[in-house]
A = this chain, B = another copy of it.
């Protein structure tokens, strides 16, 4: 197998995450190190279908390790979800002489990769790049650590104004199906409560704890709310609901939104992306396919795509307990 790989394509797909550029850089430089040609594919699977390719050299990726976003860009592609679209994509790869693919993204990215590999047999290795940290088979996804720092920094700013005015702040953070960001940033920012999907948002529990802390004289509070909730209340409705029950509270809402996706990656994310970028190319050259490289206990490991995207990671109950204890 090893002899066959002469040219590797690399793309980013799905939501962008800080550290994606560092991962691309590591893929490109590993190719250079192992004397394999590297082709950058722009705009994810859509660019793959359109043949939007560029040869990348070690020089192409100078001074990008510290840049947020992805210079290869990302895009949604409806066409790639069809058999015909994927056939076109494969034809473009064949035409360009690309022997294998490294795809950087989240579960949508890996699902697409599963189809493409199944239907056309091209070797594909994935790298988990998403701020949501919702992929199995890796302790961390690229971008998650940076997003946590961005969230905590924003809540530090909000805390300044909350403390100055004796206010209750509801801060919405990303995490449609998982409360990881809310929980970790909640602990990190010293939030008084969190509302997360894993706990059905726990609105009533929060009301009780607000009541209790009001009685003990606490005058300002931060509640971190994961954006996706099952309780049916969005953050503005939630603010209204609390406001009706606790009329003397001055309640404000802050939706952190897209700033969570951007910014210079943290050192951790750059190191992780570098390790996984090298690991992905080595996996390809070892003949692996249909797998994602991840980090487990500081070691680069492989896990097949189906495992990576399947199932949900349980909430870190130990950390949940730490939050409860440290907000007495």
Contacts and interface: CB of A to CB of B under 8 A. Distances in A.
Interface stretch (A117-125, A182-190, A223-231): A182-190
A275 B63 contact: no
Interface stretch (A106-114, A199-207, A240-248, A320-328): A320-328
Given A157-B261, A166-B75, A255-B257, A267 B145 contact: yes
A96 interface: no
Contact of A63 (B26, B159, B318): B159
Contact of A188 (B65, B263, B297): B65
B255 A66 contact: no
A25 interface: yes
B258 A158 contact: yes
Given A29-B327, A188-B270, A159 B262 contact: yes
The secondary-structure label for the interface of chain A is helix
A152 B166 CA distance: 27
A285 interface: no
A15 B100 CA distance: 45
A43 B165 CA distance: 8
Contacts of A275: 318-319, 322
Nearest to A252: B258
A110 to B, nearest CB: 19
The 5 closest A-B pairs by CB, nearest first: A157-B262, A68-B160, A69-B160, A160-B262, A16-B164
Given A32-B328, A161-B258, A190-B270, 19 more contacts: A18-B160, A25-B190, A26-B322, A63-B159, A65-B188, A69-B161, A69-B163, A69-B164, A70-B164, A74-B164, A145-B268, A152-B266, A154-B259, A157-B263, A159-B262, A188-B267, A253-B257, A254-B259, A278-B326
28 contacts: A16-B161, A20-B164, A26-B325, A29-B328, A33-B325, A63-B190, A68-B157, A69-B159, A69-B163, A73-B163, A73-B164, A73-B165, A148-B268, A149-B149, A149-B267, A154-B259, A157-B259, A161-B261, A187-B271, A187-B274, A188-B267, A188-B268, A253-B257, A254-B257, A254-B258, A255-B257, A278-B325, A298-B316
